[in-house]
Structure 1
Amino acid sequence: MGIVLNRTTVASVAALLLCLGVSGSAVAVSETPESTPTATETPIPDGEINQDPPAEPEEVVSDIPDEGNGMPDEPTFMPPPPKDWPNAEYCGPPHGVYVAQSQGKQYHKGVGPTNSNYNGTSRTAKSTFTSEVTGEIGISVSAGLTVSREALIAKVEGKFDVELSAKLTAKLGNKISVNTPPKTTTNAKYGVFRLKHTGQSYTIYSNCKTSAKTTITSYTPFRVGWYIWED
């Protein structure tokens, strides 16, 4: 037995095309309610959308090798002079000294390529970026440091009450989602933020005389994260 159902004529609806230009590992979609970040997704703190790419170090710097620079660090106690030492001041075996003096702004050193996403629509869209490589970032310093990286970190942490690391690893697969305004490109680079410090370093010899003091600029890791900017 056949059954006949009355159907209401439905008006056709025109499809809306969102033109979004994409480059790098990024996806843009129409804005939707925020979802709970996954274990590998990094929320972006307020106020961290920048207008310029990450700044480069202002000085000529090089990475500190894992084995240090060969100069013993400042001793924690005064060793007794040798029995045949002359009747004069004695400052122990020659050793390096670093004195932290000032703290500057943070600098971002990226790992892997910059990802970019252009929102060509007239409304805000969501851009999601994913880190593509894993890499380590360590300390970079200007020439003349006479102590190890561990000694430099200890002096800076003690003076400025900060927590630093000799190395940090930015890992493959970390994600971040941000809003991209209309007609705007959002750029994202994953890596390590480093704090800039200046100080003086020199060598103390056994007779307590010192070498010339050198001003040292250092960039030391303190957190892993994304640097985001718009243009």
Structure 2
Amino acid sequence: MPQSSACEPHWKYTPTSKDKDYHKGVGADQANYNNTSRTARSSFTSEVSGTVGVAHTGELKVGSKIAVVEIEGKFSVSVSVSLTAKIGNTISVDTPPRKSTLARYGVYRLKSYGYSQYTYQNCTKGVKKNVTIYTPRRVGWYLWEE
């Protein structure tokens, strides 16, 4: 009678779906109010630097690097464990009459969903632990008007 092979006990993260990118600001929001009857140019410059890393809710039972590799493979996207938004980045935009343009510099993070699951030595699987993960994707400005 052949003997069945045992499994190596381990945690595995499996991504299941992704959402859109969400912006995580570094430093304070900036604003410029155009109190004229014509469109005016507004310029914003990042005044602080900061590093934004992976964030999650739920039970992520593997390291961030492993989760990043799984997310990249599943969704064919490029994400990182962390990205740094640096001082001195400038953007210029048009501000309509009697409006404020607001700007926030930071890191866009991809929101994705998945689960962590344990595999036991006898190859059975444990309960799925749902996880929502935000993985850094790119550095940039988030702009809006009021």
Question: % of aligned pairs identical?
Answer: 51
Deviations 1:143-180 (A, max 9, x none): 21111111111111111110011000000111100000
TM-score scaled by length of structure 1: 0.61
Contact 1:145 1:202 in 2 (8 A): no
Equivalent in 113, 126, 139 of residue 28 of structure 2: 113
1:158: which partner in 2?
73
1:91: which partner in 2?
7
Point out 4+ residue stretches in structure 1 off by more than 4 angstroms. Answer: none
2: distance between equivalents of 1:189 and 1:177? 13
Aligned residues: 144
1: distance between equivalents of 2:97 and 2:10? 59
1:181: which partner in 2?
96
1: distance between equivalents of 2:48 and 2:134? 22
Partner amino acid for 2:67? L
Q: Counting strand residues as a fraction of each chain, which structure ranks higher?
A: 2
2: distance between equivalents of 1:147 and 1:207? 20
| Aligned alpha-carbon RMSD (Å) | 1.1
| SS of residue matched to 1:155 | helix
2: distance between equivalents of 1:144 and 1:210? 16
2: distance between equivalents of 1:202 and 1:112? 37
Asked which structure has the greater RCO (Cα within 8 Å, sep 6+), the reply is 2
1:193: which partner in 2?
108
2: distance between equivalents of 1:215 and 1:150? 18
1:171: which partner in 2?
86
Residue 209 (1) aligns with residue 124 (2): yes
Deviations 1:58-102 (A, max 9, x none): xxxxxxxxxxxxxxxxxxxxxxxxxxxxx555111x211111110
Residue 229 (1) aligns with residue 139 (2): no
Segments of 5+ residues of structure 2 without an aligned counterpart are none
Q: How many angstroms does 1:206 deviate by?
A: 1.4
| SS of residue matched to 1:142 | strand
Which structure would you say has the larger Rg?
1
Partner amino acid for 2:47? E
